[in-house]
Amino acid sequence: MQKGNIRVQTENIFPIIKKFLYSEHDIFIRELVSNAIDATQKLKTLSSLGEMKGELGELKIEIRIDAEKKTLTISDNGIGMTAEEVDRYLNQVAFSGAEEFLERYKGQNEANIIGHFGLGFYSSFMVSDKVEVVTKSFAEGAKAVKWECDGSPEFSLEETKKKTRGTDIILHLNEESAEFLEAHRVSAVLEKFCRFLPVPIFFEDKQVNNPAPAWIKKPSELSTEDYQNFYKELYPYSEAPLFWIHLNVDYPFNLTGILYFPQIKQSYEIQKNKIQLYSNQVFVTDEVKDIVPEFLMLLHGVIDSPDIPLNVSRSYLQGDPNVRKINAHITKKVADKLEELFTKDRLVFEGKWESLGLFVKYGMMTDDKFLEKANKFLVLEDMAGKFQTIEEYKLATETLQKNKEGKQVILYTTDPVQQDAYIQQAVAKGFIVVKLETIIDNGFMNQMEMKWENIQFTRVDSDIVDNLIDKQEGGDSVLSKDDEVKLRELFAVKNPGLNVTVEIKGLSADAPPVVATRPEFMRRMKDMAAMQGGMGAFYANMPDEVTLTVNGNHAVFAGILKETEKTKQEKTVHNLADLALLSQGLLKGNSLTEFINRSVEMIG
């Protein structure tokens, strides 16, 4: 029997491991199972090279709990180890010092570090009072050995009996880690880290992994049903995806995976961090924002690449040439797929636009290379349900919707129901109004006004219909100057939370008596501020700028001006102003209550 000290240059590596990896101590299962996978894969390689005699048999990994003995055992029938190999792999851990180790890797994702610095096996001491390794090499005539250590630098190594090749790692769990004696807890960890590892894994006599997931197969081997079934495997409670992109690159970097476009019916359903990153089928993380372009964080699925450095800082990751290439490749693949769908079957593409629009707009805002391609397949839906690309819209509105500066004016609505009256007036003039009603449209318009040439977005209720395009002054009203002064005085009603400007213009006789509008620039600034929070909240809470345009040509004012009862005259005007504000959703709280009470009183 051999006894000795584990050869590390620190006094004791185990407290360092416990301190450093405390936040994710369930990672030990991933590390030990990954080691077992490696041992199994090495044996397959040696067999294929003719360097191993005998049958491989059924290669698998087994995990067992013994609640009485308080042990968790991970067994493989892989390559196994000789006494010399145990000594080399388990006892000779070379670290230059605990302080340097902690300092060098401080602040990094612990889950990504263990295996990359020879710590995979030692993660077992985060949860164990004692660890036993019973192993027998595949080599002919090899004797089984048993290694034992209680978490101090001292170990023992002796011959033992074991009938089959491979390795058993027996963890004598400490009191703080008793949770890993519960089947459901171990199942949850296996589900998270090991569900797609390439060798069958059994726990409680049941296989818990899929060793051949869809992404490692060739696209030609998979049917539509296969892709949809794999999506269900990843996201059991989600609706079927719209479509998917199979990534399969082996030069100049290795990358496989499947990215799915999920169905998104409402903007608030957007969920990021649904893409899982694997390295050779070993789960690494679902935080992939430095690897996948930001706008594609809305996608779901899996990417697998051994070429992504997992053990370095985020700033290094962002500058890594392989990561940049992978990022650009994914962007191109997505843009090509969308363009192909649009060109191949435009009606189907338009039918999916409610979900696709979010991806496309977000991509155009954040990625100029994607913007270049997306200009061809971005579509805008008008009030008649017709979809047009930006070029088609410009062509259709060339005559009517250019302003004095020669800019194409895109008239839009953010709420077709509330803004219906304004939409009807605009459509009656021959204008085309499009729907821009998602959570990102405000930002999208601001970005596109900077990135596109000679385009201006104008909300359909931002001015009276005559002024939406050319900002004409409107015709003269039939009212005398004295009557106009009187009306201005009557409409000078104070509304809490509003900065109201009153103007009198000669609109058409069938236009409303009073139109409330909110200037595009100020309203958009307030909307953006409201989304930003912090200092933005200060601007968001500033009073709304509102213009009340009084239609001097409307017949109702002749009667109001003749009214001799001043109180009735004031109440009628107040109601007309409130009705206009109501159409903009600006009549709230006490002002709305007063309007209702006043209306009831006037009817009575």
CATH label of the domain that carries residue 585: 1.20.120.790
E strand segments, 376-473: 379-381, 387-389, 408-413, 433-435, 455-459
Q: Decide if 416 is inside a domain.
A: yes
Say yes or no to pLDDT of 94 above 50.
no
Region 340-348: mean pLDDT is: 95
- Are residues 325 and 457 located together in one domain of the fold? no
* Torsion sign over Cα 440, 443, 446, 450: negative
Spatial contact of 290 and 327, defined as CB atoms under 8 Å apart? no
Per-residue pLDDT at 264: 75
Residue 475 within any structural domain of the chain: no
- The CATH number of whichever domain residue 415 belongs to comes to 3.40.50.11260
pLDDT of residue 109: 41
In which element (H, E) is residue 372 found?
A: helix 368-374
Looking at residue 539, its pLDDT comes to 61
Q: Is the pLDDT of residue 526 over 50?
A: yes
| The pLDDT of residue 113 | 39
- Residue that wins the pLDDT comparison between 333 and 291: 333
Among residues 167, 199, 166, the alpha carbon closest in space to that of 281 is found at 199
CATH number, position 28: 3.30.565.10
Residue 288 or residue 436, greater confidence? 436
pLDDT recorded at residue 528: 73
Q: What is the DSSP letter of 410?
A: E
Distances (CA, A) of 467 to 273, 288, 359, 546: 45, 48, 34, 15
CA angle (394 as vertex; 390, 400 as ends), nearest 5: 145
Which of 177-181, 353-357, 573-577, 599-603 has the lowest average pLDDT? 599-603
| pLDDT for residue 95 | 37
Alpha-carbon gap, residue 263 to 239, rounded angstroms: 7
Residue 368 lies in a domain: no
Distance between CA atoms of residues 472 and 403, nearest Å: 10
HEC string of 49-108 equals CCCCCCCCCCCCEEEEEECCCCEEEEEECCCCCCHHHHHHHHHCCCCCCHHHHHHHCCCC
Give pLDDT, residue 196. 94
Residues 6+ apart with CB under 8 A from 240: 228, 231, 263
- Do 294 and 432 belong together in one domain? no
DSSP string, 117-166: GT-TGGGGGGTEEEEEEEEE-SSTTPPPEEEEE-SSSEEEEEE---SSSE
Range 315-333 average pLDDT: 76
Is beta strand 544-551 parallel, antiparallel or unpaired with respect to 498-505? parallel
> Does residue 371 form part of some domain?
no
Q: What is the pLDDT of residues 76-87, one digit of tens each?
A: 999 999 999 888
Question: Distances from the Cα of 23 to the Cαs of 18, 20, 96, 109, 111, in angstroms?
Answer: 9, 8, 24, 10, 9
Mean pLDDT of the chain: 84
In a domain, 362, yes or no: no
CB atoms within 10 A of CB 593: 11
Same domain, yes or no, for 331 and 239? Answer: yes
DSSP assignment string, 220-247: GG--HHHHHHHHHHH-TTSPPPSEEEEE
Q: Quote the pLDDT of residue 312.
A: 44
Q: What is the mean pLDDT of residues 193-211?
A: 94
Q: What are phi and psi of 313, to 5 degrees?
A: -70, 160
Tell me which residue of 465, 455, 458, 348 sits closest to 393, measured CA to CA.
455
For 3-31, what is each residue's pLDDT tens digit?
766 555 444 556 666 555 545 678 889 88
What pLDDT band is residue 266 in, cutting at 50, 70 and 90? low
Position 122 confidence tier, pLDDT thresholds 50, 70, 90: confident
- Domain of 585 in residue numbering reads as 481-603
Q: Say yes or no: 395 and 299 in one domain.
A: no
Give the chain's domain count. Answer: 4
Final residue in a domain of this structure, among 175, 205, 235: 205
Span 272-287, average pLDDT = 81
Q: What is the pLDDT of residue 178?
A: 94
Residue 194 CB neighbour total at 10 angstroms = 23
Same domain, 310 and 393: no
What interhelical angle do 183-193 and 27-48 show, nearest 10? 60
- What number is the average pLDDT over the span 160-165? 94
The reply to whether 142 and 20 lie within a common domain is yes
Query: Looking at the structure, do residues 418 and 508 belong to the same domain, yes or no?
Result: no
Q: For the sheet containing 300-304, what is the strand order?
A: 243-249, 255-261, 300-304, 275-279, 282-285
One domain for residues 383 and 442 = yes
Task: Tell me: do 506 and 436 sit in the same domain.
Answer: no
pLDDT of 536 reads 56
> Which residue in the block uniquely carries the two structure tokens 């605009």?
426
In a domain, 358, yes or no: no
Q: What is the C-alpha separation between 570 and 585, in angstroms, rounded?
A: 22
Clarify whether residues 27 and 121 are in a common domain.
yes
How far, in whole angstroms, is CA 385 from its chain's centroid?
A: 29
Pairing of strands 206-207, 201-203: antiparallel
Quick one: pLDDT band at residue 102, thresholds 50, 70, 90?
very low
Instruction: Give the residue with greater pLDDT, 468 vs 61.
Output: 61
Instruction: Assess whether 83 and 162 both reside in one domain.
Output: yes
Is residue 504 located within the same domain as residue 456? no
In a domain, 369, yes or no: no
Chain centroid offset of residue 92 CA: 43
Tens-place pLDDT, residues 381-407: 999 999 999 999 999 999 899 888 889
pTM for this prediction: 0.75
The 10s digit of each residue's pLDDT in 544-585 is 888 888 888 888 888 888 888 888 888 888 999 889 888 888
Domain assignment of residue 93, yes or no: yes
CATH code of the domain covering residue 319: 3.30.230.80
